[in-house]
Amino acid sequence: MDSSRFPIAKTITGVVLDLDSGALRTLHWHPNADEWQYVLDGTVSVTLFGSHGRTRIEQLQQGDVGYIPKGYGHSIENTGDKPARIPIVEISYVSTPRSKSSSKRRCLTLRPRRRTSFRASIPILMCVST
């Protein structure tokens, strides 16, 4: 939901993402918004891509929260054997009538050489519930 359906929502957008087992939310980024994810059901892998080849992959399960800063490329893959449900909220730093996201074509230039690469210097906060 964004301001086209809820006019007061000038800096916030929300969606509930349902992913079948093995499904992937394509690689994209939000140039003007941070993204928060909450895993209601299932198990997902969140892959993040930053500048200079920085990457991070986190496994999230039911009850976990993920945070992706604006401008970071990311994708979400259902790695479990049942459907995953993830409410997602994007919070923008500028008032926009609609959420903006860039396509995977632009993100592919940020793709790491190996999916398993990891650098702790990437400024990503992933919160895991206890």
| pLDDT score of 5 | 65
Average pLDDT over residues 32-60: 93
C-alpha–C-alpha distance, residues 59 and 84, integer Å: 13
CA–CA separation, 101 and 90 (whole Å): 10
The token duo for 54 is 């920085």
**56 or 3: which leads in pLDDT:** 56
Domains of the chain: 12-108 (2.60.120.10)
Q: In this prediction, what percent of the chain has a pLDDT beyond 70?
A: 64
The first and second tokens of residue 114, run together, are 């190996």
Cα 43-118-31 angle, rounded to 5 deg? 75
Summarize pLDDT for 68-123 with one digit per residue, the tens: 999 999 999 999 999 999 999 888 876 554 444 544 444 333 333 333 333 333 33
